[in-house]
Amino acid sequence: MLYIVGHKNPDTDSICSSIVLSHFLDAIPARLGDLNPESEFILKRFGVMEPELITSAEGKELILVDHSEKSQSLEDIDKGRIIGIIDHHKVGITTSEPIIYIAKPLGSTATIVGELYFKGMMEFIGGKNRELKGDLAGLLLSAIISDTVLFKSPTTTNTDKDIAERLAKIAGIEDINAYGMEILKAKSTVGSMKPEEIVNLDYKEFNFNGKKIGIGQVEVIDINEIESKKEEIYSVLEEKINKGYDLILFLITDIMKEGSEVLVLGNREAFERTFNVELKDKSIFLEGVMSRKKQVVPPLERYYKNK
């Protein structure tokens, strides 16, 4: 059976892309962890069931969405058979067999799924050119809004905006901005979450030149919502750092200020050199930095490669 699955610590893009693609590919939508409050809000809003939780790849055919790095996938991913990847991150895998690989530098995987649909290309990736109904269009729209932080993230492209508008029409959403603010508010229920939950909400692991790096992120409308929890978040990360990490970063991204407060643990020099800053404290505010994928991962990986 074919499963379509997003990354660990699933976000809205992983969840919604897996659900919508499954509709076209007769596959089972799957997830690798609990839904975050934002995704919960969105699935409820459109009355769609959550994907199935899976814990092993054994005996499964898989299409990965919204990631390609093994460190972000099932622990035993090698026991399954990856037949495809649809993603908007850097290429993070080599495979022993030929696979379907569709990746574009767009704001979300959902944008690619939307584009495949509007271009009538579902058959091209082994699916059927079925209709996209309002509820599923709403999921894709929500994922685009979430990943691009309502089109504010520097990862946003004109294609994201264009596909979002077309999806909004199908979903019957007249005011994308007003709906986007609803989503961002659902995101910012973090104020009432435990620090461990906040850390794991959107935490990703990377391997840069043999070194294990962890980068977490939380997006808030106002940093003050979370300011009082900064110390506790730092303590949670301190427990993690000894588990083989060279560096852990945690980005508290302020959507309105358009920048991120970055907590830094471990190899502080790597961080300082990469971002050309001097760390005087446990954290530093980086103006304009909103995207892990585009503004944090590439320079950091370059640093580790050239060291």
Strand partners, 260: 253, 286
Give me the helices (H) in 119-175, please. Answer: 134-147, 158-171
With vertex at residue 267, the alpha carbon angle to CA 266 and CA 269, rounded to the nearest 5 degrees, is 140
CB of 219 to Mg ion, least distance (A): 7
Please answer whether residues 91 and 67 qualify as being in contact, where contact means their C-beta atoms are separated by less than 8 angstroms.
no
For Mg ion, the closer of residues 129 and 298 by Cβ is: 298
Out of 11, 160, 254, 261, point to the residue binding Mg ion (CB under 5 A).
Answer: 11
CB of 280 to Mg ion, least distance (A): 28
With vertex at residue 27, the alpha carbon angle to CA 23 and CA 29, rounded to the nearest 5 degrees, is 80
* Residue in the shown chain whose Cβ atom is closest to Mg ion: 13
For Mg ion, the closer of residues 18 and 274 by Cβ is: 18
Quick check: 66 binds Mg ion (CB under 5 A)? yes
**Residue 161 CB contacts under 8 Å (≥ 6 apart), including other chains:** 151
Torsion angle of C-alpha atoms 57, 122, 44, 71, degrees rounded to 10: 30
How many residues belong to the site for Mg ion (CB under 5 A)? 6
d(CA 136, CA 110): 11
For Mg ion, the closer of residues 108 and 200 by Cβ is: 108
Give me the helices (H) in the chain, please. Answer: 12-25, 37-46, 109-118, 134-147, 158-171, 176-187, 195-201, 224-227, 230-241, 268-275, 297-306
Quick one: which segment of 19-27, 59-67, 73-81, 295-303 binds Mg ion (CB under 5 A)? 59-67
d(CA 306, CA 298): 12
For Mg ion, the closer of residues 18 and 109 by Cβ is: 109
Quick check: 160 binds Mg ion (CB under 5 A)? no
d(CA 99, CA 91): 13
Residues 111-150 close enough to bind Mg ion by CB under 5 A? 147
Quick check: 87 binds Mg ion (CB under 5 A)? no
For Mg ion, the closer of residues 8 and 229 by Cβ is: 8
CB of 306 to Mg ion, least distance (A): 27
Quick one: which segment of 57-65, 108-116, 181-189, 208-216 binds Mg ion (CB under 5 A)? 108-116
CB of 160 to Mg ion, least distance (A): 11
Torsion angle of C-alpha atoms 149, 150, 151, 155, degrees rounded to 10: 20
**Residue 293 CB contacts under 8 Å (≥ 6 apart), including other chains:** 88, 89, 90, 155
Residues 245-304 close enough to bind Mg ion by CB under 5 A? none
Q: How many CA atoms lie within 13 A of 16 on its CB side?
A: 34
For Mg ion, the closer of residues 141 and 267 by Cβ is: 141
For Mg ion, the closer of residues 115 and 267 by Cβ is: 115
Quick one: which segment of 9-17, 52-60, 73-81, 248-256 binds Mg ion (CB under 5 A)? 9-17
For Mg ion, the closer of residues 283 and 291 by Cβ is: 291
CB of 174 to Mg ion, least distance (A): 25
Quick check: 13 binds Mg ion (CB under 5 A)? yes
Q: Which residues bind Mg ion (CB under 5 A)?
A: 11, 13, 66, 108-109, 147
